[in-house]
Amino acid sequence: AGLDVSAAEAVLKEEEPKAKAREQMEEALKSMDVGKLQAAVDTAKAAGLGKDEWGELEDAIKQKAEQERLIKEVNASLEESMGCNMKDEDSVRDARDKLKTAISSAIAMGVSESDLMDAEIRRKKLHNTIEDLKGAIRVFCRIRPLNKREEGLGDSMITKQTDPMTLKVGANGEHTFNFDAVFTPGTQDEIFEDCKD
């Protein structure tokens, strides 16, 4: 049985760059770094891989660019809210609504909540200012953790904090409640700090 070494070398020469490109694409998707994603797309194209293999990376690049644009929009709204007249309810409401819209858009596009924490805190402060200007009573919610007996019985938490002011209740989050602040569970110091504003 004679092996055609030159044919095997030709196949290896063609397939080896493709295999390396696939590895690079996998690593780039894990990192979600735009530079690595673009380099992996370029390598995949040069290796002769089809769009069916590298198209996902281009989609990830577009999503990442949109996320970065939305973070800039949130930061611009945050900066703009610093200049609103804190004694005028309409001015504060406009600033809060603009910030809320920017935050919601960013979350919908997959921006992590940790990247939006400063904006969320400012939105909450604006909301509380509106409530104070209206003379409204603020309502806070604090969820206690399960105690040892409840854990021993196999009970589980049926509450989920979706943002600093919203709580979903039920096994599948079927009920939504809005408060001026939600603590799960939060320390006494955190709650006191929030209440004194």
Distance CA 48, CA 164 (A): 49
pTM of the model: 0.63
β-strands 140-142, 181-183: how paired? parallel
Instruction: Quote the mean pLDDT of the chain.
Output: 88
pLDDT value of residue 169: 92
| DSSP sequence for 31-95 | HT-HHHHHHHHHHHHHTT--HHHHHHHHHHHHHHHHHHHHHHHHHHHHHHHTTS-TT-HHHHHHH
Give the pLDDT confidence of 92-142 residue by residue, as tens digits.
Answer: 999 999 999 999 999 999 999 889 999 999 998 999 899 888 887 778 888
Query: What pLDDT is recorded for position 88?
Result: 92
Tell me the pLDDT band of 74, cut-offs 50, 70 and 90: very high
Q: Is the model's pLDDT at 40 over the cut of 80?
A: yes
Is residue 70 exposed (0-12), middle (13-18) or buried (19+ Cβ within 10 Å)? buried
| pLDDT at residue number 2 | 54
- Are 61 and 40 spatial neighbours (Cβ–Cβ below 8 Å)? no
Q: What's the rounded mean pLDDT across residues 52-62?
A: 91
pLDDT band at 197 (very low <50, low <70, confident <90, very high): low
Q: Residue 81: what pLDDT?
A: 94
DSSP for residue 143 = P
How far does the chain reach from its first CA to its final CA, in angstroms? 86
- Section 149-174 average pLDDT: 89
The reported pLDDT for the residue numbered 23 is: 92
CA 152 to chain centre: 34
pLDDT tens readout for residues 171-185: 888 899 998 888 888
Residue 168 confidence (pLDDT)? 92
